[in-house]
Amino acid sequence: MKSRLTPAICVFWMIQPWLLAGLLVGLLRWLMPGSALSDNPGALLLLAGALAMVLSIWLGLRLSRGLAHLAQASHALAQGRVEQRAPSDLSAPLHAVAEQLNQLARTMGQTQEHHNRLMQQSTTRLKAEHTRLQTLNNEMRAALLQTQAAAESQSALFANLSHELRTPLTGILGYADLLRRSALDPEQEQYLDTLDKSARGLLTMINDLLDWSRIESGRLRLNEERFDIHEVVENVTTLLAPLAYQKDLELVRIVYHDVPRWLSGDAQRLRQILTNLLSNAIKFTEVGEVVVRIMQGDADERHVWLDFSVQDTGVGISEAVQARLFQPFQQAGHSQGGSGLGLSISRRLAEMMGGEITLQSEPKKGSIFKARLPFRSAGRADDPPPDWRMRGSKVWLLEPHPTARLALTHWLSFWGVEVISFDSPQGLAERLEIAQGLPTLVIVGFHTDEIESLHPVLKRCGDRKPPLLALVASASLDIQLRLRALGAAACVPKSIDHQALLQVLVDLSTQTASQRPLARRRALIADNNLSNLRYLALLAVELGLEVLEARDGEQALALYREHRVEFVLLDARMPRLDGPGCARAIRESATEGSQPRIVAISAHLEPDERRAFLDAGADQILLKPFDERQLLNALLPAPARQATPSSRLLGKDPEMLSLLREELPLQRAELDSAFAADALDVARDAAHQLRGTAAFYHLGHLREATNALEERLRLVAATDDARPECEAVHRAIATALTEIDARLAELAD
Ligand code: ADP
């Protein structure tokens, strides 16, 4: 309606001055008829034009003022000043526009007010939310601090508890070890084994818990040291090999030759990771193989990345379980005890080192655990070059297991040996039969149940031509003895470390049958501990002796009376008739011209016991542990040794003192390197050796210190825990060396 009116208003507005002017002229003619003006249409037109102009100007001015007001009002509106209004006294058409504008301003004002109200409400709500979040944040921070404090006190509690638990446990282990040295029947031995196994399992669990709490509380620190990667891997595999062999599993270790030998990093933690992965692989595999591989991954200017993989053909792990396996205390359905912490610890250690552990597995097919870890290369210019002592020699290798064959061929080629491999005994036996030139050595690797199939090969290698080295997947000394009796020149476990293997190869390739020093002579060995007995028998066979075995003194005496052997090796403590008693009885029963050589054997003898043994007729006392060479020296003493003065006089013999002066630092170095490598068994042996030396030379302090160290090493799980005792041994050695130097100086004067 308004829009239709607007053009009419405009037209009216335009003609309005003319209408007014016309009206005015009409008015003048009516008021003044006959006047000159009313009769003059030109003047009238002029007047009307002038009036219309004046009116137009006046109207124009009014209009523009009104428009300016409207423009001002709309400008204010555009800027959001909704309170400003257009004036209401404008002329009609502008008044309508002003009204519209004012209406718009009012509506906008209301909308703005509504928005402001909404904004205010939102701001209030946001402020409340912010305050709530802040409070929550503060509460969470307080809770976190509380949790941290709780975790710290929990880890301290763990540490204390673990210590408290470890002390009695190591006591149990120590007493079990002491018990083992006494005469036990097979049933008691079995009980003792179970007790020992349970206590060791518990100790491992406690150590795991302690490690985990150290990791969780951030107290576990990594060390950096230079180490030999072969040594670490071989330590771990050698230690766990008996477990694999017990289950008839093939355990293969492959370290590829591009892996740098000397590295810098935390060797102890690497050992821990590998031990966990490997022991799990053996634990959860019943048939087949476990393969440990080490390959070089990427290398940048700072790191050498190594890829470790432990692959088994065991039960495997389903995908659902894999997802949570690295969480603490998680086990798959097939767990066999254990803390459920091993994998979590391993993964966290790997992450702390900057690496990772991943898993591929399929149920019933097996698993591959892979650890990718960074180390620093630590080779030095003075590192020993490759050992070429076997270079150019020819080895025929029989190893039915392809991965084990590959691993062995790898090493042999590295040493410059020419290898021809066979995968069946028949193939090798035929080749031995028809070959023109024989190899330097024959190496056969096999499982215990395959011995029968080896007979043809062993027969061809009779009389040690060529010498046959047997690598057995068995910890059993019986098997080793059987193989030696069948003609193998040497027999070593498959897990043997590469240095020792090389040494065996060198020895075999340079030694011939006629060099066996006690060939075709007979010995009687008596020891109530079966494993000691087997070990002794093996050493004796190694020297060429034919061996009779006895488990107690009475049996030994009976065997001697029957066979009249040339050598007798007697353990000191035996049931029914002890070592000295047996020695005396043998001396009495032997005729003047056929007295045997009697060697007493013991891990430790007090001076009184030593004297009792010698008085009973023993020719020499040999302290365990000893090797083939020491046994030979005891059985066939060199003339100088025969004239060895009694130990009481040793202190006055400059030659013996000089020998001791040289020996002590060597034995100390052995002990130190065992500690550095955290090799408990080696450390125990080294301590034992030192104790023997100390006892022999009447070094009271040193004997006490080594005694304490040896006892301690039996109880602890890591050499580090026996550091104080080791330091005491160091001090005792230092004192002994000073005394020896003083004594030598005195004797020189
Ligand atoms: P545990 O002390 O129980 O062995 P781990 O953390 O080392 O703790 O292992 C956790 C679980 O993972 C084991 O109990 C076992 O169920 C599973 N597992 C680990 N390694 C293997 C493997 N090689 N094959 C099959 N299952 C495995």
Q: What is the reported pLDDT for 317? A: 93
- Nearest atom (ligand 1) to Cα of 344: 6
- CATH number of the domain where residue 632 is located: 3.40.50.2300
Judgement on whether residues 528 and 504 belong to the same structural domain of the protein = no
C-alpha 234 to ligand 1 mean position (Å): 22
- Nearest atom (ligand 1) to Cα of 330: 10
User: Average pLDDT, stretch 20-37?
Assistant: 72
Q: What is the reported pLDDT for 655? A: 64
Cα distance between residue 322 and residue 359, in whole Å:
8
Cα distance between residue 633 and residue 627, in whole Å:
10
Q: What is the reported pLDDT for 286? A: 95
Element (H, E) at 597: strand 597-602
What would the DSSP string read from start to end of 283-307?
A: HT--SSEEEEEEEEEEE-SS-EEEE
Bridge-based pairing of strands 490-493 and 468-472 is: parallel
C-alpha 63 to ligand 1 mean position (Å): 97
Confidence of residue 648 (pLDDT cuts 50, 70, 90): very low
Q: What is the reported pLDDT for 646? A: 31
Q: Which residues contact 462 (CB under 8 A, 6 or more apart)?
A: 487
User: Average pLDDT, stretch 275-296?
Assistant: 95
Q: What is the reported pLDDT for 293? A: 95
C-alpha 244 to ligand 1 mean position (Å): 16
Q: What is the reported pLDDT for 705? A: 87
Q: Which residues contact 632 (CB under 8 A, 6 or more apart)?
A: 517, 518, 543
Please tell me if the CB atom of residue 242 comes closer than 6 angstroms to any atom of ligand 1: no
Q: What is the reported pLDDT for 55? A: 78
Cα distance between residue 620 and residue 598, in whole Å:
7
- Nearest atom (ligand 1) to Cα of 336: 14
C-alpha 405 to ligand 1 mean position (Å): 29
Element (H, E) at 549: strand 546-550
Q: Decide: 189 and 320 in contact? Cβ < 8 Å.
A: no
Element (H, E) at 743: helix 723-748
Judgement on whether residues 344 and 286 belong to the same structural domain of the protein = yes
Judgement on whether residues 579 and 537 belong to the same structural domain of the protein = yes
Atom 20 in ligand 1: residue holding the nearest Cα: 280
Give the residue from 180, 171, 186, 189 showing the smallest Cα distance to 573: 180
> Which residue from 331, 347, 357, 368 has its CB within 8 A of the most atoms of ligand 1, so it is best to mutate?
331
One-letter amino acid for residue 563 of the chain: H
C-alpha 414 to ligand 1 mean position (Å): 35
> Which residue from 343, 359, 364 has its CB within 8 A of the most atoms of ligand 1, so it is best to mutate?
343
C-alpha 215 to ligand 1 mean position (Å): 20
Q: Decide: 492 and 534 in contact? Cβ < 8 Å.
A: no
C-alpha 534 to ligand 1 mean position (Å): 35
153 within some domain: no
566 within some domain: yes
C-alpha 214 to ligand 1 mean position (Å): 21
One-letter amino acid for residue 81 of the chain: R
Q: Give whole-number Cα distances, 33 to 37, 38, 46, 47, 177, in Å.
A: 9, 6, 18, 16, 157
Give the residue from 610, 569, 601, 599 showing the smallest Cα distance to 695: 610
Condensed to tens digits (0 to 9), the pLDDT of residues 211-221 reads: 888 888 788 88
- Nearest atom (ligand 1) to Cα of 333: 16
CA 86 from chain centre, in angstroms, equals 86
**Residue 364, phi-psi category: left (phi > 0), alpha (psi -120 to 50), beta (remainder):** left
Please tell me if the CB atom of residue 331 comes closer than 6 angstroms to any atom of ligand 1: yes
Atom 3 in ligand 1: residue holding the nearest Cα: 340
Most confident of 581-585, 698-702, 705-709: 581-585
Specify burial of residue 635 (Cβ count, 10 A radius: 0-12, 13-18, 19+).
buried
Q: Tokens at residue 713, please?
A: 């090493």
Burial 238-264 (b: 16+ CB within 10 A, else e): bbbbebbbeeebbbbbbbeeebbbbbe
Cα distance between residue 518 and residue 24, in whole Å:
163
- Nearest atom (ligand 1) to Cα of 334: 16
265 within some domain: yes
120 within some domain: no
Atom 11 in ligand 1: residue holding the nearest Cα: 331
Of the residues 582, 611, 636, the one at which a domain ends: 636
C-alpha 335 to ligand 1 mean position (Å): 6
Of the residues 377, 405, 426, the one at which a domain ends: 377
Please tell me if the CB atom of residue 277 comes closer than 6 angstroms to any atom of ligand 1: no
Judgement on whether residues 430 and 533 belong to the same structural domain of the protein = no
User: Average pLDDT, stretch 241-269?
Assistant: 90
Instruction: Provide the percentage of residues in the chain whose pLDDT is more than 90.
Output: 22
C-alpha 256 to ligand 1 mean position (Å): 27
Judgement on whether residues 35 and 55 belong to the same structural domain of the protein = yes
Of the residues 346, 377, 408, the one at which a domain ends: 377
For the chain, the C-alpha Rg in angstroms (whole number) is 51
Please tell me if the CB atom of residue 341 comes closer than 6 angstroms to any atom of ligand 1: yes
Q: Decide: 713 and 719 in contact? Cβ < 8 Å.
A: yes
Most confident of 13-27, 340-354, 512-526, 690-704: 340-354
Residue matched to tokens 């997947």:
473
Please tell me if the CB atom of residue 328 comes closer than 6 angstroms to any atom of ligand 1: no
- Nearest atom (ligand 1) to Cα of 314: 24
- Is the pLDDT reported for residue 642 higher than 70? no
C-alpha 698 to ligand 1 mean position (Å): 51
Q: What is the reported pLDDT for 181? A: 65
Sign of CA dihedral 468, 474, 477, 483: negative
What would the DSSP string read from start to end of 214-262?
A: HHHTT------EEEEHHHHHHHHHHHHHHHHHHTT-EEEEEE-TTS-SE
Q: What is the reported pLDDT for 2? A: 46
C-alpha 726 to ligand 1 mean position (Å): 36
Instruction: Provide the percentage of residues in the chain whose pLDDT is more than 70.
Output: 89
pTM over 0.75: no
Confidence of residue 12 (pLDDT cuts 50, 70, 90): low
Q: What is the reported pLDDT for 382? A: 75
Please tell me if the CB atom of residue 343 comes closer than 6 angstroms to any atom of ligand 1: yes
575 within some domain: yes
Please tell me if the CB atom of residue 367 comes closer than 6 angstroms to any atom of ligand 1: yes
Return the minimum-mean-pLDDT range out of 157-166, 280-289, 302-311, 508-517: 508-517
Condensed to tens digits (0 to 9), the pLDDT of residues 225-251 reads: 999 999 999 989 988 988 898 888 999
C-alpha 400 to ligand 1 mean position (Å): 30
Of the two residues 604 and 377, the one the predictor is more confident about is 377
Q: What is the reported pLDDT for 222? A: 92
Judgement on whether residues 605 and 706 belong to the same structural domain of the protein = no
Please tell me if the CB atom of residue 325 comes closer than 6 angstroms to any atom of ligand 1: yes
Q: What is the reported pLDDT for 680? A: 86
Judgement on whether residues 325 and 428 belong to the same structural domain of the protein = no
DSSP-assigned letter for residue 719:
G
175 within some domain: no
159 within some domain: no
User: Average pLDDT, stretch 422-427?
Assistant: 88
Condensed to tens digits (0 to 9), the pLDDT of residues 62-108 reads: 878 888 888 888 888 888 787 888 887 777 777 888 888 888 888 88
User: Average pLDDT, stretch 104-127?
Assistant: 87
C-alpha 610 to ligand 1 mean position (Å): 50
- Nearest atom (ligand 1) to Cα of 337: 3
Judgement on whether residues 315 and 406 belong to the same structural domain of the protein = no
- Is the pLDDT reported for residue 345 higher than 90? yes
- Nearest atom (ligand 1) to Cα of 345: 6
Tell me the residue range of the domain where 326 lies: 222-377
- Is the pLDDT reported for residue 375 higher than 90? yes
Q: What is the reported pLDDT for 187? A: 76
C-alpha 269 to ligand 1 mean position (Å): 18
Judgement on whether residues 630 and 657 belong to the same structural domain of the protein = no
- Nearest atom (ligand 1) to Cα of 312: 23
Please tell me if the CB atom of residue 284 comes closer than 6 angstroms to any atom of ligand 1: yes
Which residue intervals of 590-722 are DSSP H helices? 607-616, 628-635, 639-642, 647-650, 654-676, 680-696, 700-715
C-alpha 282 to ligand 1 mean position (Å): 10
Q: What is the reported pLDDT for 384? A: 76
Atom 23 in ligand 1: residue holding the nearest Cα: 281
Q: Which residues pair with 199 in a beta bridge?
A: none
Please count the structural domains in the chain: 5
User: Average pLDDT, stretch 633-655?
Assistant: 51
User: Average pLDDT, stretch 647-657?
Assistant: 54
Judgement on whether residues 504 and 528 belong to the same structural domain of the protein = no
Give me the phi and psi of 100, to 5 degrees please.
-60, -45
Please tell me if the CB atom of residue 342 comes closer than 6 angstroms to any atom of ligand 1: yes
C-alpha 347 to ligand 1 mean position (Å): 13
Q: Decide: 173 and 196 in contact? Cβ < 8 Å.
A: yes
Mean confidence (pLDDT) of the chain: 82
C-alpha 333 to ligand 1 mean position (Å): 10
Give me the phi and psi of 606, to 5 degrees please.
-70, 160
Bridge-based pairing of strands 262-265 and 366-377 is: antiparallel
Please tell me if the CB atom of residue 365 comes closer than 6 angstroms to any atom of ligand 1: no
Q: Which residues pair with 599 in a beta bridge?
A: 569, 620
- Is the pLDDT reported for residue 563 higher than 70? yes
- CATH number of the domain where residue 368 is located: 3.30.565.10
Please tell me if the CB atom of residue 339 comes closer than 6 angstroms to any atom of ligand 1: yes
Judgement on whether residues 632 and 666 belong to the same structural domain of the protein = no
Judgement on whether residues 360 and 403 belong to the same structural domain of the protein = no
Atom 7 in ligand 1: residue holding the nearest Cα: 342
Q: Decide: 678 and 719 in contact? Cβ < 8 Å.
A: yes
Please tell me if the CB atom of residue 280 comes closer than 6 angstroms to any atom of ligand 1: yes
Return the minimum-mean-pLDDT range out of 177-186, 531-540, 737-746: 177-186
The 3-state secondary structure of 669-705 reads: HHHHHHHHCCCHHHHHHHHHHHHHHHHHCCCHHHHHH
Cα distance between residue 521 and residue 565, in whole Å:
8
Give the residue from 571, 582, 559 showing the smallest Cα distance to 528: 571
198 within some domain: no
- Is the pLDDT reported for residue 359 higher than 90? yes
Q: Decide: 52 and 18 in contact? Cβ < 8 Å.
A: yes
- CATH number of the domain where residue 719 is located: 1.20.120.160
- Is the pLDDT reported for residue 160 higher than 50? yes
Atom 19 in ligand 1: residue holding the nearest Cα: 280
C-alpha 326 to ligand 1 mean position (Å): 9
